[in-house]
Chains A and B, each alone.
Chain A
Amino acid sequence: MGPSDLAKPRALAYLEHMKTLLTALLVASATLISAQSLPNVSVLKLDGSKTELSSLREEGKPMIVSFWATWCKPCINELNAMAEYYDDLHEETGVTLVAVSIDDSRTSPKVGPFVAGQGWDYTVVLDPNSDLRRAMGVNNVPHTFLLNGAGEVVWQANKYVPGEEEVLVAEVRKLK
Chain B
Amino acid sequence: MRRIAVIVALATAGSAAAQMGQTDAFGGTLRAVVQMDAQLYVRDSVLDPAGDYYPDERALGQGWALFTYERGNLRMGMRYENYQNAILGFPTGYRGEGITYRYAQWQQGKFDITVGNFFEQFGQGLVFRAYEERGLGLDNAMDGSRIIARLPKGLTLKGVIGRQRVYFAKSDGILRGTDAEWALREAVPVLDKMGLGINLGASFVSKFQRGFDPLLNLPANVGSWAYRLGANYRGIDLKAEYAYKINDPNFDNGYIYKPGEAFVATATYSRKGLGVLGTVKRIDNFSFRSDRNAQQFDALVNFIPPTGNLHTYALPALYPYATQINGEMGYQFDVNYLIPKKTKLGGKYGTKLALSIAASQSIDRRPLEDGSFGDKGTQGYLSDALMWGEIPYFRDVNFGISRKFSSKYKTQLTAYRFVYNKSVLADGVNDYAIINAPDSDSVLVVPAVVWEQQFALPRHQTLRTEFQWSGGEGFRGGLAMALAEWTVSEHWVLAIQDIYNYGHPSESRRIHYPLLSVVHFDGPTRVQLGYGRQQQGIFCVGGVCRVVPPSNGLSLSLTTQF
Interface residues of A (CB under 8 A from B): 1-2, 6, 10, 13-14, 17, 20-21, 24-25, 28, 31-37, 39-40, 46-50, 70-73, 84, 104-107, 109-110, 112-119, 128-131, 134-140, 145, 152-159, 161-164, 166-167
Contact with A along B238-269 (1 / 0, CB 8 A): 01000000000000000000000000001011
Complex alpha-carbon distance, A139 and B335, angstroms: 30
Within the complex, the shortest CB–CB distance from B518 to chain A, in Å, comes to 13
The residue on A at minimum CB distance from B466 is A73
Complex contact A119–B19 (CB within 8 A)? no
Within the complex, the shortest CB–CB distance from A39 to chain B, in Å, comes to 6
B159 at the interface (CB under 8 A from A): no
Within the complex, the shortest CB–CB distance from A84 to chain B, in Å, comes to 8
Complex contact A112–B268 (CB within 8 A)? yes
Complex contact A139–B35 (CB within 8 A)? yes
Complex contact A28–B24 (CB within 8 A)? yes
Chain A residues contacting B183 (CB-CB under 8 Å) are 48-50
Q: A106-B306, A156-B20, A161-B490 are in contact. List 20 more A-B contacts (CB 8 A).
A: A14-B98, A17-B99, A35-B23, A50-B183, A70-B310, A104-B125, A113-B275, A113-B276, A117-B337, A117-B352, A118-B336, A137-B31, A137-B33, A137-B68, A138-B561, A139-B35, A153-B21, A155-B18, A162-B487, A163-B461
B274 at the interface (CB under 8 A from A): yes
Interface residues of B (CB under 8 A from A): 18-26, 28-33, 35, 66-70, 73, 75, 77-78, 80, 96-99, 107, 119-121, 124-125, 129, 131-132, 134-135, 168-170, 183, 185, 197, 199, 230, 232, 235, 237, 239, 266, 268-277, 279, 303, 305-306, 309-312, 334-338, 349-350, 352-354, 454, 456, 460-462, 464, 487, 490, 493, 519, 521, 523-526, 559, 561
* Choice from B28, B170, B269, B524 contacting A1 with Cβ under 8 Å: B170
Chain B residues contacting A161 (CB-CB under 8 Å) are 462, 487, 490, 493, 521
- Contact of A24 with B78 at beta-carbon distance under 8 Å, contacts A36-B29, A109-B279, A114-B336 already known: yes
Chain A residues contacting B119 (CB-CB under 8 Å) are 129-131, 134
Complex contact B274–A117 (CB within 8 A)? yes
- Contact of A71 with B310 at beta-carbon distance under 8 Å, contacts A49-B185, A162-B464 already known: yes
Complex contact A114–B19 (CB within 8 A)? no
A sample of 11 cross-chain residue pairs with beta-carbon separation below 8 angstroms, ordered by A number, consists of A17-B99, A28-B22, A105-B125, A116-B272, A117-B353, A119-B350, A129-B131, A156-B20, A164-B490, A166-B460, A167-B490
Complex alpha-carbon distance, A138 and B33, angstroms: 7
Chain A residues contacting B311 (CB-CB under 8 Å) are 71
Complex contact A117–B354 (CB within 8 A)? yes
Complex contact B487–A159 (CB within 8 A)? no
Chain A residues contacting B33 (CB-CB under 8 Å) are 137-139
Chain A residues contacting B66 (CB-CB under 8 Å) are 134, 137
User: Which of A2, A153, A158 lies at the interface centre, i.e. has the most chain B CB atoms within 10 A of its CB?
Assistant: A158
Chain A residues contacting B69 (CB-CB under 8 Å) are 28
Chain A residues contacting B135 (CB-CB under 8 Å) are 140
The residue on A at minimum CB distance from B19 is A35
Complex contact B487–A71 (CB within 8 A)? no
Chain B residues contacting A137 (CB-CB under 8 Å) are 20-21, 31-33, 66, 68, 561
Complex alpha-carbon distance, A118 and B69, angstroms: 37
Complex alpha-carbon distance, A145 and B373, angstroms: 56
Complex alpha-carbon distance, A50 and B156, angstroms: 11
Complex alpha-carbon distance, A127 and B199, angstroms: 18
Main secondary structure of the interface of B (DSSP, over half): strand
Complex contact A31–B456 (CB within 8 A)? no
Within the complex, the shortest CB–CB distance from B331 to chain A, in Å, comes to 13
- Contact of A110 with B334 at beta-carbon distance under 8 Å, contacts A130-B131, A161-B493 already known: yes
Within the complex, the shortest CB–CB distance from A110 to chain B, in Å, comes to 6
Complex alpha-carbon distance, A71 and B311, angstroms: 7
Within the complex, the shortest CB–CB distance from B360 to chain A, in Å, comes to 13
Complex alpha-carbon distance, A135 and B67, angstroms: 9
* Choice from B237, B309, B338, B559 contacting A158 with Cβ under 8 Å: B559
Chain A residues contacting B32 (CB-CB under 8 Å) are 137
Complex alpha-carbon distance, A116 and B234, angstroms: 13
Chain B residues contacting A1 (CB-CB under 8 Å) are 98, 168-170
Chain A residues contacting B197 (CB-CB under 8 Å) are 47-49
The residue on B at minimum CB distance from A3 is B169
- Contact of A140 with B559 at beta-carbon distance under 8 Å, contacts A128-B121, A156-B524 already known: yes
Chain A residues contacting B275 (CB-CB under 8 Å) are 112-117
Chain A residues contacting B125 (CB-CB under 8 Å) are 104-105
The residue on A at minimum CB distance from B107 is A40
Complex contact B23–A34 (CB within 8 A)? yes
Complex contact B523–A32 (CB within 8 A)? no
Q: Which A-B residue pairs are the 5 nearest by beta carbons?
A: A117-B336, A113-B275, A35-B19, A31-B24, A116-B275
* Choice from A32, A39, A70 contacting B24 with Cβ under 8 Å: A32
Complex contact B272–A119 (CB within 8 A)? yes
Complex alpha-carbon distance, A110 and B268, angstroms: 8
Complex alpha-carbon distance, A61 and B261, angstroms: 49
Complex contact A113–B561 (CB within 8 A)? no
Complex contact B270–A115 (CB within 8 A)? yes
Complex contact A33–B312 (CB within 8 A)? no
Within the complex, the shortest CB–CB distance from A133 to chain B, in Å, comes to 10
Complex alpha-carbon distance, A122 and B129, angstroms: 29
- Contact of A163 with B460 at beta-carbon distance under 8 Å, contacts A40-B107, A139-B35, A139-B561 already known: yes
- Contact of A17 with B80 at beta-carbon distance under 8 Å, contacts A109-B239, A162-B454 already known: yes
Complex contact B352–A118 (CB within 8 A)? yes
- Contact of A116 with B487 at beta-carbon distance under 8 Å, contacts A109-B279, A130-B119 already known: no
Within the complex, the shortest CB–CB distance from B392 to chain A, in Å, comes to 21
Within the complex, the shortest CB–CB distance from B434 to chain A, in Å, comes to 26
* Choice from B97, B134, B274, B336 contacting A14 with Cβ under 8 Å: B97
- Contact of A129 with B354 at beta-carbon distance under 8 Å, contacts A49-B185, A139-B35, A139-B561 already known: no
Complex alpha-carbon distance, A140 and B350, angstroms: 29
